[in-house]
Amino acid sequence: MGGSSADIEALLVDVTGPDNPTPGMLPAIFRDIVGRLDAAGHVYAVLGRIALTLHEQARFVGDIEIVADLDLVGGGHAADLVRATRTRFAAHMDPHQCRRPIVLTLRPCTCATETRLLREAITRPWFGIPAQLASAEHLLWLWCCTDDLDNSVNASALIAGGTIDLNRAQGLLRETDNIEENGQRRLRLAIGDAVLSTMSSFSRYMAERRARLDPNHVPVWRQRQTEAPNGDGR
């Protein structure tokens, strides 16, 4: 069950302040930094919830996370790229100028697995431009590498989406897991949460279906009509 960048854009609103334009600026900021990376010839992959939407349903996004082929020398250049984007969109990225700024993170690969992540990135039109998005297996691997609540939630959602090769993800974790196998433990917890979530959703669906098929079931609109004065629904 995958989505698209259009699904994300539909969620980019500030429900507490409808006049706040910052959330809706995320696609423009995304296009700016990806364009700078392409112009500089960097190989990269988009991570986080932006990439999750490729494999699972859309969720609100407030940050842009990218990993690229940056070495120690290229790190300074990466900082310049990020600085240029932040300068252009300061009104929406500077915490001194807006209440909930959009966060941009651009970092180098930290291991051979992340280097492989770049090679296996998926090219998709995203926010109006071709972009490289991390595969489902590499996203799950990343989220299981650190103990973070958001990562746990995202991992469970990714598994529940049913588009991931769990054997492949387990293989990536075996390559990089620590001696205590924390990554494998987090993966098992995420699988359990995904199963419970799926079962709960299915149970609700079946309960609603049984209610609709019940010959004695009275729709809510009919109940309200009956309760209205004179039964005229007014």
In a domain, 52, yes or no: yes
pLDDT value, residue 184: 86
- 221 within some domain: no
Same domain, 109 and 179: no
Note whether 13 and 74 are same-domain residues. yes
Quick check: is 210 in a domain? yes
29 and 91 both lie in a single domain: yes
102 and 158 fall within a common domain: no
Specify whether 107 is located in the same domain as 191. Answer: no
First to last CA, the chain: 42
Phi then psi dihedrals of residue 187, to 5 deg:
-65, -45
Instruction: Please check whether residues 118 and 155 belong to one and the same domain.
Output: no
234 residues of the chain, pLDDT tens digit each: 578 999 999 999 988 888 899 999 999 999 999 999 999 999 999 999 999 999 988 888 999 999 999 875 556 788 899 999 999 999 999 999 998 999 999 999 988 999 999 999 999 999 999 999 999 999 999 999 888 888 998 999 888 887 889 999 989 988 887 766 888 888 888 888 877 776 665 456 556 666 666 666 666 556 666 666 655 554
DSSP, residue by residue, 162-176: T---HHHHHHHHHHH
230 within domain boundaries: no
User: Among the three residues 85, 116, 134, which one is the final residue of a domain in this structure?
Assistant: 134
Out of 87, 112, 134, pick the residue that ends a domain. Answer: 134
Q: Please give the pLDDT value at position 229.
A: 61
Same domain, 98 and 154: no
Q: Domain containing 23: what range?
A: 1-134
Number of domains comprising the chain: 2
Residues 127 and 170 in one domain: no
Judgement on whether residues 151 and 188 belong to the same structural domain of the protein: yes
Indicate whether 171 and 123 sit together in one domain. Answer: no
Name the residue among 30, 26, 32 with its Cα closest to residue 13.
Answer: 26
Tokens of 187: 């993966």
- Does residue 171 belong to any structural domain of this protein? yes
229 assigned to some structural domain: no
Distance CA 123, CA 132 (A): 5
Residues 56 and 170 in one domain: no
28: left (phi over 0), alpha (psi -120 to 50) or beta: alpha
Domain boundary residue, one of 81, 110, 134: 134
Whether 3 is covered by a domain: the verdict is yes
Q: Is residue 179 one of the residues assigned to a domain? A: yes
Task: Note whether 112 and 144 are same-domain residues.
Answer: no
Would you say the pTM of this structure is higher than 0.75?
Answer: yes
